[in-house]
Chains A and B, each alone.
Chain A
């Protein structure tokens, strides 16, 4: 065992010194996942930044439409409008981060000072704490801003007062004394506001402060509506390109270690290892351990990177760990096969990469299988890449049950054992 660890440690040390190998294992997958993820999200979302929200305007008044326009103008938001059902669906499927509902009466409430405060429904996955806080802040700001505008715009204020006076006059649930008081006070206020516009303008700051105080008793309400995500589709394009990127990185590792085994042979170090008091089996196991360790590191590193940078979260961490173990295991076997593809570094590398690229193409490593014609999806079952991507996607967003996960994992383990066995046999026969 000590010898196997020493062999693996030697290979890892050499990998870190091999700039090309390091690039293909660690840098390329990140670049791949990021680049294609960016392109694919760009195709879906129009390329603009900000939180993706969908607004449901149930009020359909000029006031509500104005508020939608106001939100659309914000850089912090990317706004589309749809009906409520569709909006809910978009959020559930992760196409949009949140749904904003402007209920019936929103426009009116927004125009009133002393009526019911305006209310906005915020539909969001309760797990998205950061986006929830941010959206609440933005909405509050915009709704308060409304009030501020009302108070600092005398004509708007006058119209506002008119409608309030009408309302008070027609109201039946206000006691007569209050009614009389209001009907005396409000017209007086209106006269004051319209007759002294200069004063208003000069003291706009005071007015502004006043509005804030005034707003205190009619705080706009944001009602949170929990929308639990329905995890039957990728949350973002990165979840698709991530599995592909991981596969490319892992292929890079397998190719690298396979070639390194050929190099051990051509440089004569394999002869030296075989003359040492260790078995050939230990030598191959050392290679396998190094390959496994590296592919796991590449996979984990890439998913951590994606979690930090793109906010991608796997549906199940445990499943993802299992998927990565199985994928790495399969690729240790593939590494062994690549090691017997050619007698020289160039031959093994050339043939190995050619095979890998073809397997990647038919297995959905370049273009996602879902975009491919049906017959190609059928052909894909022969590619270990397909099963690798399926296992990782099962853990990421397909929400595979343990039984569903079993198929790709068993296939991958089978590939690992089969390829390693065959490769090792050929290798042993040709040393």
Chain B
């Protein structure tokens, strides 16, 4: 569906994206995980033809170059910075951008109604977008991205500034879209989101794509040992790293006993830490 071949983008002296290559299969949800400034948005912008890579190439579907209009028709984008007209109602927003995608007449009407229903804004569609909450605006942003039934959907940090309820709603919409055979690229700096939604995740930092794999695969390869944290009956604290936490706990139990214990399994956070030497959240 999407093949990115060693693209690079430089702004002045700053290399925002450096020889990134990846290939995304149809129907996949691919997560691009990285802290702010990693180059996720720049990558997305190149994928939709907003920016031209300095080097490398991008091919979408069978047709190819995203600067081509017909290729862009296949792509839907929910930009990181909300892109809606506050002065217009939700419905007017979706209708207008539907027209920009070339939809007309009854097809336009149907698609607009579907998109608004899909993101759960049908009952507020006549209200001006300026009256929407942050979460509703995000959902409207998503409705506009899917109104023309794109084959490839790019969601750039779609949950930023969203209340937990809207966040859950957005997750459900994304999973529903996968059922409709939409290929999705999902960028985020929340590792929980990548872990929960994505079939595969690419870890990005400082313009480089450091690793690509399934969540389990990444943890296995780069997560390292689990951490066992326990206390002895006399109050002494024990902390250790191990590849086999169960065996380690058994050993501690038989050797002096345990008051409390918990195991921290490796996650994408530790993957990132191990890959970059820095914590994902600090950024």
Contacts and interface: CB of A to CB of B under 8 A. Distances in A.
Interface in A1-19: 2-3, 6-7, 10, 13-14, 17-18
Interface in B69-100: 69-70, 72-73, 75, 77, 79, 81-88, 92, 96-97, 99-100
Contacts of A6: 96, 99-100
A275 interface: yes
A407 to B, nearest CB: 41
Interface string A260-299: 0000000111011111111100000000000000000000
A273 B144 CA distance: 11
Q: Is the interface of A mostly helix, strand, loop or mixed?
A: helix
Given A275-B77, A277-B72, A277-B101, 16 more contacts: A2-B99, A3-B99, A6-B99, A6-B100, A7-B100, A13-B92, A14-B87, A267-B86, A268-B81, A268-B83, A272-B77, A272-B79, A275-B48, A275-B75, A277-B70, A277-B102
A275 B144 contact: no
Contacts of B84: 267, 269
B85 A274 contact: no
Interface string B96-137: 110111101000000000000000000000000000000000
Interface residues of B, number: 27
The 7 A-B residue pairs with the shortest CB-CB distance, nearest first, are A272-B83, A268-B83, A276-B100, A277-B69, A268-B81, A6-B99, A277-B72
B63 to A, nearest CB: 12
A14 B83 contact: no
A261 to B, nearest CB: 13
A13 B88 contact: yes
Given A2-B99, A10-B96, A268-B79, A275 B85 contact: no
Contacts of B72: 275-277
Contacts of A279: 69
Contacts of B50: 271, 274-275
24 contacts: A2-B99, A6-B96, A6-B100, A7-B100, A10-B88, A10-B96, A13-B88, A17-B87, A267-B82, A267-B83, A267-B85, A268-B79, A268-B81, A268-B83, A269-B84, A269-B85, A271-B83, A272-B83, A275-B48, A275-B49, A276-B101, A277-B70, A277-B102, A279-B69
Contacts, number: 63
A275 B70 CA distance: 11
Q: Is the interface of B mostly helix, strand, loop or mixed?
A: loop
Nearest to B144: A272
Contacts of A274: 50
A219 B107 CA distance: 78
Nearest to A267: B83
Contact of B85 (A2, A14, A271, A278): A14
Contacts of A273: 100
B97 A276 contact: yes
Contacts of A268: 79, 81-83
Nearest to B69: A277
A2 B102 CA distance: 9
A10 B84 CA distance: 12
A348 B50 CA distance: 24
B120 to A, nearest CB: 21
A275 B147 CA distance: 14
A269 B79 CA distance: 9
A14 B73 CA distance: 26
Interface in B32-80: 48-50, 69-70, 72-73, 75, 77, 79
A17 B72 CA distance: 31
A323 B78 CA distance: 45
Nearest to A283: B100
Nearest to A282: B100
B30 to A, nearest CB: 19
B152 to A, nearest CB: 12
A3 B102 CA distance: 8
A116 to B, nearest CB: 75
Given A10-B88, A276-B101, A271 B81 contact: yes
Contacts of B48: 275
A13 B91 CA distance: 14
A279 B144 CA distance: 18
Interface in A340-354: none
A269 B100 contact: no
Contact of A269 (B49, B83, B101): B83
B5 to A, nearest CB: 21
Nearest to B48: A275
